[in-house]
Amino acid sequence: MISLPAHHSPMRVALVYNQKKEEAVQQSMTDNDSEPPSSRGSFSPNQSLSQISNPNSHSSQVSDLYAEWDTFETIDAVRAALAEHHSVTMIEADEDAFSKLQTERPQIVFNIAEGLHGVSREAQIPAMLEMLGIPYSGSDPLTLAVCLDKSRAKEILSYYNIPTAKFGVIHSKEEIKNLNISFPNIVKPLHEGSSKGIYNSSIVHSKEELVIEVGKTLDKYNQPVLVEEFLPGREFTVAMLGNGKELHVLPIVEIIFDTLPKGVNPIYSFEAKWIWDQSDSPLDIFSCPAKIPDKLKLEIEETCRKAYTVLRCRDWCRIDVRLDSAGIPNIIELNPLPGILPKPEDNSCFPKAARAGGLSYNQLIQTVLILAAQRNGLIEHTSLHSN
Ligand SMILES: Nc1ncnc2c1ncn2[C@@H]1O[C@H](COP(=O)(O)OP(=O)(O)OP(=O)(O)O)[C@@H](O)[C@H]1O
Ligand SMILES: [Mg+2]
């Protein structure tokens, strides 16, 4: 169990966030002409919700434009957790964010902003904060940008001999012939999260299927495509808290694919995350703590510690892991701005792992703030006790 470090005096905290524009998502499902606020994706959604819910339909036309951003409910839950001990100002990470931060000058920022535009969007708020000399929670601009480009992150992991699936980056269909990896493959947009662009159809077993899927992904996401060898084993996600030698691995979550609709591919796809799993009828897709032998648990923990360290993550990160055909844990990707939906029935992995490790949602948020404040010398360093 992890316990929160000792109490300390209140701080002036700013919570910096991007709020999901739910109305706009509704709108974009019916309006082919709706313009996205960024150049990230250009969907022309034309599918009804009943088609979306059908696991056999191709659901890649559902708008996932705002999938990364947080809902009011999540943002307000983080605010409430921070407000238990601190004064909290809310700052939306929009084009006025820099001047708002400059005027407000909080002692510390709790950063959950996914950013507005571009392939390094998660780095934008941390870069502004560094320029202003304001301490903030979580990883720095470099780590955030590298982890948002899954190929760059995988190159670093490979350099340190940390297992990760073989891959290639494709900029145009003509480059497919240069790929030197074995089928089956998984096809994903290079710079996305929240399973954007990862659908049941993203698994391909032949050159013909690969060409079609790469073409669709290139067209829809207007960015390079990552093609990886498919890791066929069990999948886990690992929530980590801490810095330096004091790095805590929370109880491991396993993704149980048996709970997905019959006949679909065993991946945690956009459909699985956002369509088949609803608060009013949650998919029983997670097992935490994962039921695994101690040896495998230690192996997963060790691989995740190495990945966290070589990518220079700070305070917290959720790392996705899958076993290869030899049973070896491979890193799929790192999420240094992890999803943190507050309600247990929302099936959000970091809060779930925290609860299993003895931290309530509010304690998790407060712990991340304390880790950041300690790292910046704002409060005295005390350990997170763990036994
Ligand atoms: N190489 C792979 N082999 C097998 N399955 C994979 C592989 N890469 C991705 N997947 C599956 O696709 C899912 C989503 O992939 P990934 O984690 O890269 O996407 P993401 O959109 O960044 O996810 P997140 O919501 O965690 O940000 C994984 O959870 C896993 O089920
Ligand atoms: Mg993932």
Ligand 1 mean position to 195 CA, how many Å?
7
Nearest by Cα to 147 from 187, 186, 119: 119
Specify whether 147 is located in the same domain as 215.
no
Nearest by Cα to 162 from 173, 171, 172, 153: 153
Specify whether 87 is located in the same domain as 152.
yes
- State which of 230, 265, 283 marks the end of a domain: 230
Task: Indicate if ligand 1 lies below 6 Å from the C-beta of 286.
Answer: no
48 within some domain: no
Nearest by Cα to 326 from 160, 204, 163, 167: 163
- State which of 230, 254, 272 marks the end of a domain: 230
Specify whether 109 is located in the same domain as 226.
no
Distance CA 312, CA 310 (A): 5
Helix orientation angle between 72-83 and 361-375, rounded to the nearest 10 degrees: 70
Any idea which ligand is nearest the CA of 338? 1
Specify whether 14 is located in the same domain as 122.
yes
Specify whether 181 is located in the same domain as 325.
no
Q: Whose CA is nearest to atom 28 of ligand 1?
A: 268
Nearest by Cα to 319 from 27, 330, 327, 231: 330
Distance CA 113, CA 94 (A): 10
Specify whether 128 is located in the same domain as 143.
yes
Q: Which positions ≥6 away from 218 have C-beta within 8 Å?
A: 170, 172, 173, 224, 225
Specify whether 180 is located in the same domain as 264.
no
pTM for the whole structure: 0.89
Return the half-sphere exposure (C-beta side, CA atoms, 13 A cut-off) of residue 220: 26
Any idea which ligand is nearest the CA of 191? 1
Any idea which ligand is nearest the CA of 154? 1
Ligand 2 mean position to 229 CA, how many Å?
15
Closest ligand 1 atom, residue 150 Cα: 18
Which amino acid does the sequence have at 203? Answer: I
pLDDT of residue 237: 98
Closest ligand 1 atom, residue 165 Cα: 1
Q: Whose CA is nearest to atom 24 of ligand 1?
A: 194
Task: Indicate if ligand 1 lies below 6 Å from the C-beta of 333.
Answer: yes
**DSSP code for 312:** T
Is the sign of the CA dihedral 210, 215, 216, 218 positive or negative?
A: positive
Which amino acid does the sequence have at 111? Answer: N
Mutate to test the pocket of ligand 1, among 148, 267, 283 (most ligand atoms within 8 A of CB): 267
Per the structure, the count of domains in the chain is 2
Distance CA 53, CA 225 (A): 26
Specify whether 155 is located in the same domain as 248.
yes
Any idea which ligand is nearest the CA of 183? 1
CATH number for 380: 3.30.470.20
Task: Indicate if ligand 1 lies below 6 Å from the C-beta of 198.
Answer: yes
Mutate to test the pocket of ligand 1, among 114, 187, 320 (most ligand atoms within 8 A of CB): 320
Distance CA 80, CA 87 (A): 10
Q: Whose CA is nearest to atom 26 of ligand 1?
A: 194
pLDDT of residue 60: 39
39 within some domain: no
28 within some domain: no
pLDDT of residue 335: 97
- Do 11 and 108 touch, CB atoms closer than 8 A? yes
pLDDT of residue 28: 43
Q: Whose CA is nearest to atom 15 of ligand 1?
A: 195
55 within some domain: no
46 within some domain: no
Specify whether 351 is located in the same domain as 207.
no
Specify whether 150 is located in the same domain as 205.
no
CATH number for 197: 3.30.1490.20
What range does the domain containing 323 cover? 2-20+66-165+231-386
Q: Whose CA is nearest to atom 19 of ligand 1?
A: 195
53 within some domain: no
295 within some domain: yes
Closest ligand 1 atom, residue 330 Cα: 1
Task: Indicate if ligand 1 lies below 6 Å from the C-beta of 226.
Answer: no
Mutate to test the pocket of ligand 1, among 114, 204, 258, 268 (most ligand atoms within 8 A of CB): 268
Any idea which ligand is nearest the CA of 202? 1
129 within some domain: yes
Taking only the tens of pLDDT, the chain with its 387 residues reads 677 766 678 999 999 999 998 644 444 443 333 322 233 332 222 232 233 334 334 343 445 667 779 999 999 999 999 999 999 999 999 999 999 999 999 999 999 999 998 999 999 999 999 999 999 999 999 999 999 999 999 999 999 999 999 999 999 999 999 999 999 999 999 988 778 899 999 999 999 999 999 999 999 999 999 999 999 999 999 999 999 999 999 999 999 999 999 999 999 999 988 888 777 777 889 999 999 999 999 999 999 999 999 999 999 999 999 999 999 999 999 999 999 999 998 889 999 999 999 999 999 999 999 999 999 999 988 777 665
Task: Indicate if ligand 1 lies below 6 Å from the C-beta of 195.
Answer: yes
Q: Which two tokens stand for residue 193?
A: 């999260």
Task: Indicate if ligand 1 lies below 6 Å from the C-beta of 277.
Answer: no
